[in-house]
Amino acid sequence: MAWILIVVAGLLEVAWSIGMKYTDGFTRLWPSVFTGAGIVASMMLLSYAAKSLPIGTAYGVWVGIGAAGAAIVGMLLLGEPATAARIFFIGLLLVSIVGLKLTSGH
């Protein structure tokens, strides 16, 4: 169950990090409300998962999903450059996430 929580928390991190782009520095009400709710929900799920997972693993996977997901969404939807180097390093992040999962002992 903790792994499901981490994945959902990571996906929420992608959502709120992309959401910040639409808040205009938290000056637009509804994008700011949704972004803030995403931040709170993501961190709550991370904290629940960290009850049974090592914090280094839980946090590393959460950050990795968020970073890789935000970069992928940025490239696919926001017109950010999709260079071979960026795709390679996102791949390394994903390999690291899998490695943390496989070596966590859970």
pLDDT per residue as tens, the chain (106 positions): 999 999 999 999 999 999 999 999 999 999 999 999 999 999 999 999 999 999 999 999 999 999 999 999 999 999 999 999 999 999 999 999 999 999 988 7
Give the other-Cβ count within 10 Å of 38's Cβ: 20
Question: Taking the domains of the chain in order of start, what are their residue ranges?
Answer: 2-103
Tokens matching residue 69 = 């997901």
Distances from the Cα of 63 to the Cα of 25, 27, 29, 57, 58, angstroms = 22, 26, 26, 10, 9
Instruction: Give the predicted TM-score (pTM) of the model.
Output: 0.91
